[in-house]
Structure 1
Amino acid sequence: MEKPVTIENYNPNWVTEFEQEKAKIKEVLKDKPICVEHIGSTSVKGLGAKPILDIMAGVQHLDEVDKFIDPLKTIGYEFVAHKEFPERRFFRKGQWRAGTHHLHIYKYGSEQWKNQLSFRDYLRSHSDVRRQYQGLKLALAQKHPADIVGYTKAKAPFILNVIESANGG
């Protein structure tokens, strides 16, 4: 059963939860990731979000990630193969389509890595764009209340425009 798409008001506890989760991830992976970042809407102060913590880890080589599957399982993360995203490895904590934490692993410094940070940082520093995104998310959650895939796809053009602006395009 899919959880309905729900946008909660910004919660400052999301930052604390991220720090706790980051410590657990680094502990089980023995500092293998070069960097662990809080991404997605829960990382942007003042932005409402689905209550799912998005975490990004950067590695030198994506083939290292196979060795992470068992250690991450010990702290509740399940590897989810996504053939359509060859540049990313994805782990979910929580039930399918109702996860509580999403761990995205990219090659450190790759275009995908940079775009995630550009999007987050642009929203953090541009309150007008953050408000537009908030409005869009609320409208789309009403339009796609039981369709997380449709909701996510409908946000994509806005996200791509923000990344383009953030990268000076």
Structure 2
Amino acid sequence: MTEASIRIESYDPEWPARFEQELPALERVLGKSVTGGIHHVGSTSVPGLDAKPVIDILAGIEDLDGARPHIEPLSELGYMYSPYRVDEMLWFCKPNPEHRTHHLHLVPTGSPRFKAELAFRNYLRKHSEVAQQYAALKRHLATRCGHDREAYTQAKGDFIRDVLDRADRGSA
């Protein structure tokens, strides 16, 4: 399996609509397992932010084991389960790792990861100058990391931690 190179695109105002198109089917399949809502997160959820053209979706669930029965029904919607950070989430990509249009993260509601995903998104939405710094970093890292998505993700870590610290302190 060959991973595509990391590609950052200018903000597309259709990204929120692509999330909204997925929402009814996800609500139907996940049903009462959702305890913390289904949210559009990641860079495509921040107006004006350049991003990989992949819609990140966060669903707050009771617990990971209780969500495992949803793996098969989600596959029928085109979401391919991939064991990744299995202590934090159930992670899916649609339609496959070579051509990703959506990522779905089933994460326990109230967990540190759940809170961080929402806090990061909300901070970038409120602070466009920080969002633009993030866009510049991502463009640089996409060039530097090429096809290595894990290196790309790791290299963003310090910036993300800094933003989360600011969000936690309620500072600009």
Q: Between 117-126 and 25-34, report the one with greater CA deviation.
A: 25-34
CA distance in 2, matches of 1:85, 1:160: 21
Equivalent residue, structure 2, for 1:28: 29
Aligned to 1:51: 53
Partner SS state of residue 101, structure 1: strand
Match of residue 77 from structure 2: 75
* 1:132 equivalent in structure 2: 133
Question: What does residue range 33-112 of structure 1 map to in structure 2 within 5 Å?
Answer: 33-34=34-35, 35-82=37-84, 84-112=85-113
Q: How does 1:145-156 map to 2 (within 5 A)?
A: 145-156=146-157
Question: Contact between 1:88 and 1:106, CA under 8 Å: does it hold in 2?
Answer: yes
- TM-score normalised by the chain length of structure 2: 0.92
- Over the aligned positions, Cα root-mean-square deviation in angstroms equals 1.4
Is this contact kept in 2: 1:26–1:32, CA < 8 A?
A: no
In structure 1, distance between residues paired with 2:126 and 2:80: 33
- The separation in 2 between residues aligned to 1:27 and 1:161, in whole angstroms, is 36
> Which residue in the other structure is 2:12 paired with?
11
Deviation at 1:29, TM superposition (A): 2.2
What amino acid maps onto 2:15 in structure 1?
W
Structure 1 counterpart of 2:110, one-letter code: G
Unaligned runs of 5+ in 2: none
TM-score (norm 1): 0.93
Unaligned runs of 5+ in 1: none
Partners in 2 of 1:28 and 1:85 — Cα distance? 21
Runs of 4+ in 1 over 6 A off after TM superposition: none
SS in 2 for 1:7: coil
Measured in 1, the distance between the counterparts of 2:135 and 2:34 equals 31
- The Cα offsets for residues 127-161 of structure 1, whole Å up to 9 and x where unpaired, read as 11111101101111111222222211111110111
